[in-house]
Amino acid sequence: MSGLIGKKVGMTSIFDDNGKNIPCTVIEAGPCVVTQVRTEEVDGYNALQLGFDDKAEKRANKAEMGHFKKAGSSTKKKVVEFRDFEGDFKLGETVGVDVFVEGEFVDVSATSKGKGFQGVVKRHGFAGVGQATHGQHNRLRAPGSIGAASYPARVFKGMKMAGRMGGGKVTVQNLRVLKVVPEKNLLVLKGCVPGHKNAYLTIEK
């Protein structure tokens, strides 16, 4: 599907025609350069590889420099492949935010914010055990029993327990495109997207 690489600018809110306040995310989407074209005959599938955000040449290795030189482009920080891209784009061409139109729906993927080591209440939404009365004073956010004793005499795999949270790939589906600003390469989506400010995003139709 058609898509772009973008960078999260931040969140804001706008008013619709009925005066309702809508939270939205502003994304700097593109411009992206076509750095490789994959075809059915050569690669077994059709896809476009897009590059986004310039990188200093001294931070690129020889393989990267050769790859981008072939496309006639400067070295890029982020490269993503989009299968079955709509439209006929050639190597070295630029793809802008105008591939999206207002009112359509997109999926956004990114690496979520890392939360570190968290307990079961924050990580899995547990309610906590028991009440604060009857002498109990330190077990309010405990996970409770994690298994029986004599049988099976072990903890089953996949048990929801405390541990590291966040820092993984997250995809949010069906976000409405509220505004497209081609002259500033900005895309305004309804709702929130994963990742911190300036995080790289993949936006797909």
Domains assigned to the chain: 3-116+169-204 (2.40.30.10), 117-165 (no CATH)
Cβ density class 30-45: b for 16+ within 10 Å, e for less: bbbbbbbbbeeeeeee
pLDDT over 80 (residue 137): no
Looking at residue 1, what is its pLDDT? Answer: 65
pLDDT in tens, 37-85: 988 899 899 899 999 988 888 888 899 889 888 888 888 899 999 988 8
* CA–CA gap between residue 16 and residue 187 (Å, rounded): 16
Neighbours of 118 (CB within 10 A): 14
Q: Calculate mean pLDDT across residues 200-205.
A: 93
pLDDT over 80 (residue 180): yes
Q: Which amino acid belongs to residue 10?
A: G
Name residues whose C-beta falls within 8 Å of residue 161's C-beta, 6 or more positions apart in sequence: 120, 143, 146
In the block, residue with structure tokens 């005959």 = 41
Residue 80 near residue 49 (C-beta atoms within 8 A): yes
Q: Residue 12's beta-bridge partner residues?
A: 24
